[in-house]
Amino acid sequence: MGEEVKEATAVLEAALPEVPAVAVCTDEAPIVPVTEAVAETVAETVAPVVEAVVETVETVQETVQEAVQPVVEAVEPVVEDVVPVVEAVVPVVEAVVPVVEAVVPVVEAVVPVVEAVVDAIPEAVVEAVADVKEAVTEAVADVTEAVVELSALLVEAVTTPEVVAEEVVAPPPLPVFDTFAPCETLGEVAPAPVETLGEVAPAPVEVLVVEPPVPLPVAVKDPIPAFADLGSLAGSVLNAPFNIGALSLDFSLGTKSISSYGASLSMATRGKALTSALESSHAVWGHDFKMRFTSERVLENSLSMKDVLLPGLNLALNSDFAPDTGNFNLGLTSTFSNDLATVGIAAINNGSSVEASAVLHKSGWLAGILSNVDPKSPGNLAASFALGYKGADFQAMTHLTPNKSFSAQIYQKLASGAESGIEVVAANGAKPSLALAHKLALGESSTLAVKVDNSSLVSLSLSKALRPGVLLNVCGAVNATNVAAGPNDFGIGIVVEA
């Protein structure tokens, strides 16, 4: 745009000399009229210039409009967004102004106080630091002198054997104690260096090592047993060690994962009956899942879940399936246990039989009841009762069954580690039976168990760990009063865990 204006100016300057002079109108001289030739010449000369200026102005106007239009379009939405913000800020500014006006006098009043404090602080701090520095310097000097004197006396006593211990006079109390006691150490004051007094080896310093106290073992409460487990401690002495009448092999294999596998093989010493089973155990979403397949071609499954919905509530789903016959049995067992009682409900044989049990505990005493209910005939109830006492090393339990049979078990653990068990069983129309058993450890890997009953049958069991994970159990029973009459039998069992 500037170049076009310059061109128009140059054209005007070139045309002006060609215009004839025009007389100036004055009062004394008359007005000389302009001729038509001069007017036409001026018009022709000025016309191109005017046209060029008009075109230049239009071009500049169009260029400015084109350049400004995008800016206007871009600014319009911003202006629309800014307007509400400005409108919202205006009341805030109006509200802040009085606060600022009120704060200004406070600031003006505080400024002199701050300046006075700032002026006073350095002088007070310098004086306090100077006093502390002087006191520390004097104390360190006194300590250094006392240490040097004490060291000289010690060296003299060590190097001169003739010096009597009584002649060594204790140095006077250190001045530092009189100055600062009972104050704590003032900051991190480095002790004054002490010169080495000859080649005297420092005396060994015994470091007292304080061992942490050994925590006392926390007594763990035994859970309240279920009804079926009452008297199990006596059974572990009377029945578990004796595998009479069978030759058995039990094998279990544990893997790096949570799964485990096992197999069992058993043959009766009389009748040569052979039974076997394969089983496996797995962890499914934190629950135990077991499968077992027997030689009778029966598949048994069990899923156990602990702490379902609330702590202490356990559920177990059991099933038996025979592929040959198509028989399928389903059972559900649930137990709930806490510090007062253990309650259990079990539905077996596809719900054809329901069993409910409860065991109560109070101060070592246990009382339990077991009831069987047939859903088809609810009136036929059969209940068993149990009552006993359980201590740390002693347990006595009594049972009363629906057919009026009575049994009692007593368990005792001796101070030597040996265990004893007694069982008495009395039923209608039968001779009462009495059995006594004793189990003791012969060593770290051997256990001997002996049992005698009132029918003169003596049973003996010896368990021996052949190697880690391999256990051999040999047992036998003989009629002590009449060996020939019998019944005499034996049993051998091998347990392998890998």
Q: What is the pLDDT of residue 326?
A: 86
Residue 203 lies in a domain: no
* 3-class SS of residue 386: strand
Q: Based on the domain organization, do 239 and 110 belong to the same domain?
A: no
Residues 240 and 126 in one domain: no
- Specify the pLDDT at position 176: 42
Counting the structural domains of the chain, the total is 2
Is 323 in the same domain as 427? yes
Greatest Cα-to-Cα distance within the chain, rounded to the nearest angstrom: 185
Residue-wise pLDDT tens digits, 366-411: 999 998 877 777 666 778 999 999 988 899 999 998 888 899 999 9
Q: Degrees (nearest 5) of the Cα angle 29, 32, 34?
A: 160
Assess whether 128 and 231 both reside in one domain: no
293, 442: one domain: yes
Note the helical H segments in 160-317.
Answer: 175-180, 232-238
Q: What is the pLDDT of residues 307-351, one digit of tens each?
A: 888 888 999 999 999 988 888 899 999 999 998 899 999 988 887
What is the per-residue pLDDT across 212-258, written as a single tens digit (0 to 9) for each? 666 655 555 678 888 988 988 888 899 888 888 888 999 898 887 78
Query: CA geometry: angle at 426 spanning 424 and 431, to 5°?
Result: 105
Domain assignment of residue 219, yes or no = no
Residue 49 binned pLDDT confidence (cut-offs 50, 70, 90): low
326 and 470 in a single domain? The answer is yes
pLDDT band at 77 (very low <50, low <70, confident <90, very high): confident
Contacts 24+ apart (CB under 8 A), 97-106: none
Q: Do the Cβ atoms of 413 and 394 come closer than 8 Å?
A: yes
Q: Do 389 and 256 belong to one domain? A: yes
Residue 291 sits in the same domain as residue 402:
yes
- Asked if 125 and 261 sit in the same domain, the reply is no
Pick the last residue of a domain from 90, 107, 132.
Answer: 132
Range of the domain at 6: 2-132
The whole-number pLDDT of residue 434 equals 93
Backbone torsions φ then ψ of 419, nearest 5 degrees: -125, 145
Q: Are residues 286 and 409 in the same domain?
A: yes
pLDDT for the residue 263: 92
- CB 234 within 8 Å of CB 395: yes
pLDDT band at 283 (very low <50, low <70, confident <90, very high): confident
CATH number for the domain spanning 446: value is 2.40.160.10
Q: Which residue has the tokens 């379902």?
A: 308
Distance CA 305, CA 313 (A): 9
pLDDT at 219: 52
Please report whether residue 75 resides in a domain. yes
Both tokens of 461, joined, read 């069991």
Which string of b and e fits 182-206 if b means at least 16 CB within 10 Å? eeeeeeeeeeeeeeeeeeeeeeeee
Please check whether residues 257 and 395 belong to one and the same domain. Answer: yes
Cα 41 to Cα 47, 54, 62, 82: the distances in Å are 10, 20, 32, 59
Is the model more confident about 171 or about 288? Answer: 288
Domain ends where: 84, 108, 132?
Answer: 132
Last residue of a domain, one of 132, 150, 185: 132
Same domain membership, residue 441 and residue 311? yes
Q: Do 236 and 438 touch, CB atoms closer than 8 A?
A: no
